Amino acid sequence: MRTAAAILLVFLGGFAIMVLEIIGARFLARDFGSSFYVWVSQIGVVLTALAGGYYTGGAVADRFQRLSCLGWLLIPAGVATCAIPDFGGRVIEFIVQRHPTDRAIPLLWQKLDPALGGVLIFGLPCFALATLPPFLIRLATSELAHLGRISGLVIAASTVGSIAGVFVSGYILIDHFTLSNIFRATGALTILLGGMCWLMDRQKRPMTNEQ
């Protein structure tokens, strides 16, 4: 059951990341336009957050080996995601209005402004969600003989969740829900993942003793 819970965690984490990437690009496009630069910026920001989250998740797992540590990252990240409809517009407004209104925005900033907005709005949630796979690989592997199998299973589950996030975002969510409701639902999911980490950490037997 604990292995199944770990797989569910990384699946939902991968799902949430892709929702933030796809819906986040749509959010940025409202003010920056649906240009090539917006999509490049959002993809680059999410990949950077993933790289940082993967490294940090593995480093924290080696040091503490307590899944509850992720709760302290995921719950604030979920709260921040829920608040995107409240603060995201003001962040973008600040980015846009810092340019003089009597001249055209330089091409360099036309490229970088969407990336700056993506970092400030979506960087923390994607970073926090990316800590899940390496942390769970570390905790779920008690023997080196099983490292490859467990790693492959966790990464595959996370990737399948990301695939689901792409198609659900593009084919369902964007057609039937407002951006604000999508962000709030994704934030609630991230908070739930943090709560699951705390709950799993309270179990009597450590995850490292189970296969």
Over residues 198-207, the pLDDT tens digits come to: 888 776 444 4
In angstroms, the CA 95 to CA 205 distance is 49
What are the tokens at 71? 């709760």
- Asked if residues 127 and 49 have their Cβ atoms less than 8 Å apart, the reply is yes
In angstroms, the CA 41 to CA 46 distance is 9
Give the per-residue pLDDT at 8: 92
Give the per-residue pLDDT at 4: 80
Query: Which residue's entry shows tokens 């892709």?
Result: 18
Low-confidence ranges of the chain (pLDDT < 70): 1-2, 102, 141-146, 203-211
pLDDT digits (tens, 9 = 90+) for 154-176: 899 999 999 999 999 999 999 99
pTM for the model: 0.89
Go through the domains of the chain in sequence order and give each one's CATH number.
2-97+105-209 (1.20.1250.20)
- Asked if residues 78 and 194 have their Cβ atoms less than 8 Å apart, the reply is yes
- Asked if residues 117 and 87 have their Cβ atoms less than 8 Å apart, the reply is no
Give the per-residue pLDDT at 146: 66
- Asked if residues 36 and 107 have their Cβ atoms less than 8 Å apart, the reply is no
The closest alpha carbon to 70, from 185, 183, 164, 198, belongs to: 198
In angstroms, the CA 186 to CA 79 distance is 10
Give the per-residue pLDDT at 19: 97
